[in-house]
Amino acid sequence: MTLDRRRLIVGAAALTAAPLAACDEATMKTIQARLNPTGPTGGPAAPSGPAAPGAPAAAPTAPGVVAAGVRMPARPWTYDAFREAMTASGRNPSISAAQFAEIQARKPGAVNRVKTYLDGKFGAADPNVLAAFDSVPRDYFHYAYASGVSTATQCYEADPKPWAIGHGSVLSDYLGQAYMTQLAAPKPTDVTLEIGTGSGFQSSLLSRIVRDAYTIEIIQPIGQAVGKIFAPLGYANVHSRVGDGYFGWPEVEGGFDTIMLTCVAQYAPPELFRQLKPGGKLIIPIGQPFRRGQVLYVYTKDDQGRVHSRRDVGVFFIPMTGAMQNRPKPA
């Protein structure tokens, strides 16, 4: 399998920046070798094998990243805050204070890249999306779960790309995640569902804007480990579980304003439409696994329950696993 990195970060002219979700270990090793030439400290890649912290204080952030509709951090994101949150989530901090400071120094550049990217794609970046991205400490989500080491030194890279986090999962490219967030047009009253938790960053990003963010991960070791990372950040409105996203989360009363898949499906699961509120939006990549021609579709449900669809951009996602792989497309 050959992956062209440029196709992960360009728009409709080729393949847009897009999150990647679950895949098998062999494919993950291929992606890791192609996209992650160095390990967490810049050397060889690592082998597989109660206050709420907030925005960085160790370095200046991009000016003007403020929005009234975004939950702001209750505490500066310092090295001590990073270590406390990592330990509380059951993970090894494993980076030095100097490395932490270098990471934070790169953040303003990443925020500006997100703004430029969204300006180009949508005409103007949503201030809420920018403020949410600025408020969520992305370095906290860079972690190799199979080897138990922080990969935070990879954070806020100038050439955005997905990063392996172990067990066949990835932390998605941050431009793609910002794009998906603005495409969802989240509002403070919304309830969202993400299929494919991965690192947890996408739902954390949404959670800074929406009322409640639900997220499902099918890979058990990832879902169990990542389920512990939200509370140390004070993200009480993120709800996660291990399960097959094909069936959604039917226990959530009233359904969802946005359902977002961060994995490619061969068709839109019928149960997800049933859980979509009138006026709601289903954002889903549709296509064949590991092949060109995948397209991001946006389905909307009107007040009469009719569903409308439109093609958005070309994408490249790793496939949805579970029931999607063994159930035929409904008539």
Active-site residues, by number, are 172
Instruction: Enter the tokens of residue 149.
Output: 């080491």
Instruction: Enter the tokens of residue 69.
Output: 């509709």
| CA-wise closest residue to 148 among 233, 235, 89 | 89
- Three-state DSSP class for 130? helix
Whole-angstrom distance, CA of residue 218 vs CA of residue 7: 26
Whole-angstrom distance, CA of residue 167 vs CA of residue 48: 8
User: Residue 150: enclosing H or E segment and its boundaries?
Assistant: strand 149-150
- CB neighbour class for 185 (10 Å; exposed up to 12, middle 13-18, buried from 19): middle
Is the separation of the CB atoms in 315 and 293 below 8 Å?
no
Is the separation of the CB atoms in 99 and 78 below 8 Å?
no
| Cβ atoms within 10 Å, residue 13 | 8
DSSP one-letter code for 60: P
Angle between helices 97-122 and 127-135 (to 10 degrees): 170
Please list, in sequence order, all residues whose beta carbon lies within 8 angstroms of the beta carbon of residue 284, skipping any fewer than 6 positions away: 259, 260, 261, 265, 268, 272, 296, 297, 299
